[in-house]
């Protein structure tokens, strides 16, 4: 049972880092080289289901003019941290 808890915890940890990578990728105004494009697309494909579901619940926060802050990655990371904490308590 403990092994299941550790696998779940590490899977959530990896997913959290995928979200962090996606945020960093979105900040870089680059045209990705051919070799990296499949990796970027994979990161977007893996994280989009969770982030789009959160975006339906949480609208973007207007910052100024036409600029808005998407809080869905932050909320997703907080939810993952909470789930990791619960898993660590349940699978001691």
* Domain positions in the chain: 2-90
Element (H, E) at 17: helix 2-27
- Mind giving me the DSSP string for 65-76? TTEEE--HHHHH
| pLDDT digit string, tens, across residues 52-92 | 999 999 988 888 888 889 999 999 999 999 999 999 999 97
How far apart, in whole angstroms, are the C-alpha atoms of residue 52 and residue 35?
26
Please give the pLDDT value at position 64.
86
Which among 1, 63, 51, 57 has a CA at the least distance from the CA of 26?
51
This prediction's pTM = 0.89
Query: Distance between CA 76 and CA 48 in Å, rounded?
Result: 11
Instruction: List beta partners, residue 68.
Output: 62
Say how many C-beta atoms besides its own lie within 10 A of residue 76's C-beta: 19
Residue 34 pLDDT class (50, 70, 90 cuts): confident
Average pLDDT across the chain, whole number: 93
Q: What pLDDT sits at residue 50?
A: 97
pLDDT at 10 over 90: yes
């Amino acid at each position: 049972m403990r092994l299941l808890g550790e696998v779940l915890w590490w899977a959530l940890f990896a997913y959290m880092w995928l979200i962090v990578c996606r945020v960093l990728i979105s900040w870089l105004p680059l045209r990705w080289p051919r070799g990296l494009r499949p990796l970027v697309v994979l990161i977007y494909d893996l994280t989009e289901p969770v982030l789009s579901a959160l975006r339906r619940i949480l609208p973007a926060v207007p910052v100024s003019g036409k600029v808005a802050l998407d809080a869905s990655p932050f909320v997703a990371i907080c939810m993952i941290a909470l789930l990791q904490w619960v898993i660590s308590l349940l699978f001691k």
